[in-house]
Amino acid sequence: MNRNCTLPLSEIKTPCFVVDLSLLRKNLAILDRVRRETGVKILLAQKAFSMFSVYGVISGILDGTCASSPHEARLGREEFGKEVTAFAAAYSEQDLKELLTTCNRIIFNSFSQWKRFREIIRNSKDVKFGLRCNPEHSEGDVEIYDPCAPKSRLGIRRADFDGESLEGITGLHMHNLCEKNSDAFARTLAVFEEKFADIIPQMQWINLGGGHHITRQDYDIDLLCRLLNEFRARWGTPEIFLEPGEAVALNTGYLVSSVLDVVHNETDIAILDTSAEAHMPDVLEMPYRPNIIGAGLPDEKKYTYRLAGHSCLAGDVIGDYSFDERLEYGSKLVFLDMAHYTMVKTNTFNGLQLPSIATWDGETGELNMIREFGYADFKSRLS
């Protein structure tokens, strides 16, 4: 974690997401190593990180994007280029027709969806079609992030392939990891290979999903590369894909925020110009405690505060932290690891100001304000 960030805080109007391009390039170099050592293609899962102003940096290394909707697919097509793959739990006919114009690959979540659209698809010679399978092997610790949890709607179980024709299907897809190391991938892959041993050899491409924390410091990249190379040697699959989202932008971004007020109710409570509910909803959803530069656990340092958002949601609480100095009006706080699953999830609940989006280059010291939001952005989503 980059605790010594040298962001020019006085120049940053808050709230603001700041992505450090030098750290992004570092992550990309790691992903590039996996590409070069294994020959797999790596796609950016846009659902985690859709900051299209930096797609030029990412597309210099990665092979394309994957999309969860026609809008994400179009963004990938227009702003990133290269390959676009779509997967959704279900498509409407309109979604599908639009995806046929933007995607290279479309992955279906069920045989009924695949069969429903068979006729529409028949003339789409340039698009390849795949099926998502459910390996029925859980590695997730949190059920809402576990696609293999009991009664999951995601993916086709092996038994449900029986009796179905694979004509027109050229690929298989699976995804069951979330913030995992390659040991979890090894266990999943073993189950997948055993269950789908009769189907894998019929496929031209296999997409092994995201959720690999490949760029995390303790991630075992050698094991990942070995698994991928062994998989290719065993099955001879021509094209293999990974589609990490989080790993691309892991530890590259900050959310810079200011203290608006300090109130007291049994404990000191600092109210910020950012909000867990509106700007970093995973803090409440997952939930987790984001790290802040220079802050410690409660009572670890001299002054302990509960940090809370300025929305009217009583539970808009980020967590309890301690600091060496008192917080006061105007104090700036820098939340760490705020690039992924943040900008893509913000909302304008309470009409709150959306954080602006900036880039910073830790190598050159260049700060660039990319986008600021205002009343029009709030109003345009309502009527």
Where does this chain bind ligand PLP (CB under 6 A)?
45, 47-48, 87, 175, 178, 209-211, 243-247
Helix (H) or strand (E) holding 267: strand 267-272
- Phi–psi pair at 206, nearest 5 degrees: -130, 125
Within 10 angstroms of residue 367's Cβ, the number of other Cβ atoms is 14
Q: Is the dihedral of CA 134, 139, 144, 149 positive or negative?
A: positive
Within 10 angstroms of residue 143's Cβ, the number of other Cβ atoms is 10
Q: How far is the CB of 132 from ligand PLP (least distance, A)?
A: 7
Task: Pick the closer one to ligand PLP by CB: 47 or 279.
Answer: 47
Q: How far is the CB of 297 from ligand PLP (least distance, A)?
A: 27
Give the list of residues 6+ apart from residue 123 with CB closer than 8 angstroms, or none: none
Burial class (CB in 10 A: 0-12, 13-18, 19+), 269: middle
**What is the C-alpha to C-alpha distance for residues 352 and 378, in angstroms, rounded to an integer?**
8
**What is the C-alpha to C-alpha distance for residues 377 and 381, in angstroms, rounded to an integer?**
7
Q: How far is the CB of 51 from ligand PLP (least distance, A)?
A: 14
Q: How far is the CB of 339 from ligand PLP (least distance, A)?
A: 11
Token code pair at residue 88: 């959704």
Closest CA to 252 of 11, 48, 8: 48
Q: How far is the CB of 246 from ligand PLP (least distance, A)?
A: 4
Task: Pick the closer one to ligand PLP by CB: 109 or 356.
Answer: 109
Task: Pick the closer one to ligand PLP by CB: 15 or 171.
Answer: 171
Task: Pick the closer one to ligand PLP by CB: 136 or 268.
Answer: 136
Within 10 angstroms of residue 286's Cβ, the number of other Cβ atoms is 14
Task: Pick the closer one to ligand PLP by CB: 7 or 339.
Answer: 339
**What is the C-alpha to C-alpha distance for residues 311 and 315, in angstroms, rounded to an integer?**
9
Task: Pick the closer one to ligand PLP by CB: 7 or 44.
Answer: 44
Task: Pick the closer one to ligand PLP by CB: 72 or 316.
Answer: 72
Task: Pick the closer one to ligand PLP by CB: 210 or 290.
Answer: 210
Token code pair at residue 28: 């990309």
Give the list of residues 6+ apart from residue 319 with CB closer than 8 angstroms, or none: 283, 289, 290, 306, 307
Q: How far is the CB of 286 from ligand PLP (least distance, A)?
A: 12
Q: How far is the CB of 130 from ligand PLP (least distance, A)?
A: 11
Residue 45 · residue 245 · CB < 8 Å: yes
Q: How far is the CB of 245 from ligand PLP (least distance, A)?
A: 3
